[in-house]
Structure formats: C-alpha cells, structure tokens
A and B are shown apart, each in its own frame.
Chain A
C-alpha cells in the first residue's frame, strides 16, 4: 500500500466530510494495514489520527503494538491506497466489508479506554456491538 501525498490529500478530503463519526472522539488512532504487513511487519500503514473531532490522514510504518485503537486489516493490493474505494462514506463501506469478511477488524485498545475516549459510536457504526459477544 504505497501512500503518496496525492492519495493522502484525497483521504483527507474524504475524512473531512465524516464529522458525524469522529465528532465525539476525544483522541485516538485508527490503522488500516494490508494482510501481508499485518502478518509480517514492518510495512506501510494508513493512519487516521483523530483529535478535536477531526480525523487526519497520514502514512506511517506499521508496528505492533503501534498505538492503534482500532486496526483494520485489508486485503493486499494497491487499490487500498485509493480512497475512492471507500467513498463517499468510508465507515459504512468498511462496515459492509467487515461483515463480508473482506476486512478484518481488531481492537488493540481496551474497552474502558475506548469508551472513555468516545469510540463507542464509531465501533457500532462499523457493525461491531461495543458490548456484544458470543453469537
């Protein structure tokens, strides 16, 4: 997943229209990483750093643990660098992909920490019941 400045600018443009998802979050980091990198770090990771109700897109070197609150593991391939894949609503698109098993959802942060920082709505919007277990 090569993340050029142009791609990051497009990501930023997309994230800037998602205040309803990030407005309640007091701070945090979401990582989007390809399966190969997740299985064998290091590699590139797309990060959404959330502060002040706004998510800022950036590229980083994937580490585990890497301070991610939520981690989305996507199939290998350059297409994930393209924000158009998730436009216009990246959270709804990710929810569908998580449901289909195409994207894997992980929660590196603890429950209480996530709740304290306002992640509950976002986790639910991604289709994962915040307090649900056992199907």
Chain B
C-alpha cells in the first residue's frame, strides 16, 4: 500500500471493504472487511501511508451483492435472478429487514473508515455489485418500494447516501461509482439513459463526486479489455458531466494514457482521471511524466491477466510488471550490480528484452543478439496480427526499443548467434542468456507431410484463399483470425476437445466470438492423418475420416523450446542461463517475468 501511496496520485481510494459480518458482501479472496472496530488498526496504517504523501484518502465500501458470498454457498440480491456465469454463487432475495440491516452496516462502516483516518468514503454501484443490483432492471424485479420504477430501484441508493452522509457528516466527501453503461441490455438491464437518470438521482441525494464506470463483470461484450480502443467510453463521462451539474465527475475506464486524459479534462469531459490497471503496470508513471520521461513508462496492455487471476482467487499479477505483489521483497528489485559483468542475451523477444533491460539498468554491459531484423519475437506476431487494439502491444515493443537505446545496450539485429559467432564476436563474455523462444515441432508432422508443404504459423503468413491452421491455441487462433479478416477461408484443426486452452480465462470468450464472427471453420477432437499440398486428412475418435481442402497449411502447435545452443555453450561460458519459451513454450507474461527474475539477480 505504501507503493500505491507513492504513485503521486492526488486522491487514493483503498480497495473495496465489505461491510457485513456475514461475508455476503465478499467477492474476492483476501478482500478486506470493515464491519468491526477490530479492523481499525490496518485501516489507520493505510490512511497514514496515503496522508504521508499528502494525498486524499478515500475508503471504498463494497458489498458485492450478486458477486458476493465467495465463502458462502449463496449470494444476496434484490431479486433471485440466476447467474449468467458459473463463477458466482446462486442467489437469495433480500428481505426488507435485510435491506435495512445492510444500509445500517454500510453507515457503520463509513463511520469506521473516517475514524481510521480516511478523508471520505466511496460507494459502488457498478460492475454488478449490490448497489448496481438494486439500480438495474435486470436484477431488481421487486414489487415493493425498493423496486419497480427507476425511483423505486434507486431507493436503496438514496437511503444509503442519506445514511452515510448522516454517519460521516458534511466534512467528509462521499463518492459514488455509477455505471454510465451496464452493457447488460440483452438481459433487460438499464440503458444509458436510465444510467444517466440514476446519476442525477445520486447527485440530488447529495453525493460529492461521481465516478463513471462501464459494464458488469458478466457483460457479454467488452468494456475494459484490449479490444476496446482507448478513449472509447469517454462520451459517457462527458454526458454525465453535463447531467450532474456541479458534482465533479471522475473517469478512467479504458483510458490508460495520461495525455488523452489531460486533453479530456481540458475539454471539460470530466474532472479527475482515475487510474487503476496502468498503475499496476507502472506505479511510477506519474513521476516519470513529471520528469519528462514518458519513454520510461511501462504501458498497460489491457491483457486482463490481473483480473483473470483475481477471479481465480489468486493475487494480482501484471504481465509487464513482474515486481507487482513483491514490492517488499528485495530480490525483486534491481539493485546496482556488485560485479559488473559482460552479458550476451540471445533473442530479442519479450524474455530476452526484459532480461537485457533489467540487467543493463543494474550496470551490466549487455549485448543483445536477435536473428531477425526487428525486436519483439513472438510479441511481433501479436503486434502484426492480433485483432484487438494492436497499438497497446506496439507500445510495449516501443518501450523496450527505447530502453535498449537509452541504456546503451549493444543491439545486434539480423544476427544468427551460434557457438562459432560467440567465440569470434563475443570476447570477455561472463554470462550468456539464451532467450531464443520456441518453434513448431516439425518432427511431430514430418512423417505426415511427405511433400514438405507445412508452414510455421509464426514465421510465415500462409497464402490463401483457403488456409488450414493446425492448432487451436492462441498462436493458431491469432493466425487464423488474422487470415480470415484478410479474406481467407480458414479452418482451424485442434486435436484436443476445446479451443483456446492456453488462453487466459477472461480472453477466451473473445477468441471464440471472433471465430464465429469471422466464420472460421473449427474441427476439434480429430487426429491429423495426412498433410498434402491441397488438403489434410483427419480421423475422429470413432475412426471416421474427413478431408479439409486448402491452398496452404500452417502448424501453430506443438511448440518446442529453441534451446539447441544450450549444449554447445555449456562448457564455453562462465555463466549460462535460459529463459522464456526457450525453457518451455508458454506466454507473454511468463516470458517477461522469466527475463526479469533473471535480470535482477545476474
């Protein structure tokens, strides 16, 4: 929390604490509770950290309603509307008595937060939590005074605002996070006009600031992921700003760029820029901006690893910031090198880049050899082919390129590193790091491909118009989607039962949706029996044969480590390491984390 306090933000909101002793409001493993005074000391410490940095301390109060009850066998809602995702608990309808109890618990929690030293509190009617459940037509089907019309559905919110204002007084601000759009229209949720109306009601009831958010956890369309362009939702903040008069509006949904935020504030779209995920990627971003070092900021790429982990009851990780969650562990921090070494990193993909940059930052002399003419490795595949917002990924390769130049790393592109090259061109080397990535295991297919027509889906763009892609994991999907978007008729063949098995949970749906939208043919649960220039022959589990015709065929799987240099260099160099896919083919975050963990200790 001290790291968060040191971000340089003017207002810092502590994570949502659930206010009820039953745990019905708890949605996340390790979510903090604030239903009893025995928790005060921890909140006092956090408020103290924030105040040390001269920031305003806000405590979010969060009863998760439909998404709560993580430790229980149920969740509570205004009405017993079943879940649309398996992750959440079956619902129970709240009685009037339970509603009144919940409001009282909220008020007591708010009083407790102020007692702990926080300057104000925040309530949250967004993302499908309890307050949103009352506000929404989708989850509030009550026929009593807490349901029905928009005023009836807002009654819980209004009573909550009054109760909290009474509990904390006028000297302490109360913020409300409200949906600008629920993105639950198809389920009968509120439309944008109703969301705006609810903001007006909240403003009229006396909230001191409104934070505009977008979407519910279960929204069937994207709100904060990489396939939404930065700035896409700004119009919702601008509409809110016009609607709520003098009440300040905060906004930050899918707005990772400070320059864009500055522009929006200057244009009067909102008053405060809210930042969450970009701070996970780089907690020092505001200081770097203040020091006119934007090239040193690690970009948030909107990959959703953080939230994928959260909903698996695991601590946050960030793809681009391996130190996240390890702030107090010295081993995760780049300290000046005790012995300055000459390091050669082989491979300019994410693992090699991260290792090279981290090691150079510590004072080592680093040479980076890359066999291609550009940096990025398999990240370049995504930059070139991914259907989501590619500029996020391009920013990451741009960050690395800038750091390589700035740190004086000896970059050798178009360089085929070998034992011979090492002997001739790398004198006085102390350390070699092999970050050579992975490649398709051609031995898996060679017996089936007598004509030698099979291409590697990473290194080649298979010519159309009909293309068969072997492998329905992320490499095969990205390739197939890219080809289909460019007019090819694509068939993806996956020997396993399901597509996207190596894709993170919050992103799987995006691939399966693209596959359908692009009309890509998918065959699962089949074995490839023969590969030819014009077709592949498949055999299913019952022994039935199918033929898929094509103009070209590319394999995306299985991938094997490119670690051929390991043996050749074993007795040729003082220290020899291997990182990233060259150890075992995985993904972007594992590559970056591998590279960093080695770079900080060389």
Q: Do A and B assemble together? A: yes
| A128 touching B86, Cβ below 8 Å | yes
Considering the complex, give the chain B residue whose CB is closest to the CB of A114.
B86
| A101 touching B82, Cβ below 8 Å | no
- B286 CB-CB contact with A under 8 Å: no
| B187 touching A111, Cβ below 8 Å | no
| B506 touching A133, Cβ below 8 Å | yes
- B80 CB-CB contact with A under 8 Å: yes
Mark B485-501 against chain A: 1 for CB-CB distance below 8 A, else 0: 00000000000011000
| A133 touching B217, Cβ below 8 Å | yes
Mark A115-126 against chain B: 1 for CB-CB distance below 8 A, else 0: 000010101110
| Given known A-B contacts A107-B84, A124-B498, A135-B221, A129 and B186 have beta carbons under 8 A apart | no
B138 to chain A, nearest CB (A): 10
| A128 touching B509, Cβ below 8 Å | yes
Among A65, A114, A133: residue with most chain B CB under 10 A: A133
| A127 touching B90, Cβ below 8 Å | no
- B83 CB-CB contact with A under 8 Å: yes
> Looking at the complex, which one of B86, B222, B223, B304 makes contact with A111 (CB distance below 8 Å)?
B86
Q: Report A-chain residues with C-beta under 8 Å of the C-beta of B224.
A: 134-135
A135 to B82, CA, bound (A): 19
> Looking at the complex, which one of A104, A111, A134, A135 makes contact with B186 (CB distance below 8 Å)?
A104
| A127 touching B86, Cβ below 8 Å | no
Mark B189-229 against chain A: 1 for CB-CB distance below 8 A, else 0: 00000000000000000000000000101111111110000
| B219 touching A135, Cβ below 8 Å | yes
Considering the complex, give the chain B residue whose CB is closest to the CB of A71.
B82
> Looking at the complex, which one of A95, A109, A119, A123 makes contact with B90 (CB distance below 8 Å)?
A109
Q: Report A-chain residues with C-beta under 8 Å of the C-beta of B88.
A: 111, 133
Q: Report A-chain residues with C-beta under 8 Å of the C-beta of B87.
A: 111, 131-133
Scan residues 24-71 of chain A and give those whose CB is less than 8 A from a CB of chain B: 64-65, 71
- B516 CB-CB contact with A under 8 Å: yes
| A107 touching B86, Cβ below 8 Å | yes
A71 to B82, CA, bound (A): 9
A128 to B86, CA, bound (A): 9
Q: Report A-chain residues with C-beta under 8 Å of the C-beta of B423.
A: none
Scan residues 302-340 of chain B and give those whose CB is less than 8 A from a CB of chain A: 304, 307-308, 310-312
| B86 touching A101, Cβ below 8 Å | no
A134 to B223, CA, bound (A): 8
- B412 CB-CB contact with A under 8 Å: no
| B497 touching A135, Cβ below 8 Å | no
- A99 CB-CB contact with B under 8 Å: yes
| B84 touching A99, Cβ below 8 Å | no
Q: Report A-chain residues with C-beta under 8 Å of the C-beta of B90.
A: 65, 108-110
- B460 CB-CB contact with A under 8 Å: no
- A85 CB-CB contact with B under 8 Å: no
| A134 touching B509, Cβ below 8 Å | no
| Given known A-B contacts A106-B82, A107-B83, A134 and B506 have beta carbons under 8 A apart | yes
Q: Report B-chain residues with C-beta under 8 Å of the C-beta of A104.
A: 84, 186-187
Considering the complex, give the chain A residue whose CB is closest to the CB of B510.
A135
Contacts A99-B513, A123-B86, A127-B513 known; 5 new A-B pairs at CB < 8 A: A106-B84, A110-B90, A114-B86, A128-B84, A132-B508
A interface, CB within 8 angstroms of B: 20, 64-65, 71, 95-96, 99, 101, 104-111, 114, 119, 121, 123-125, 127-135
Pairs of residues from A and B, 9 with the lowest C-beta to C-beta distance, nearest first: A101-B186, A106-B82, A132-B505, A111-B86, A129-B508, A108-B82, A133-B311, A135-B222, A131-B505
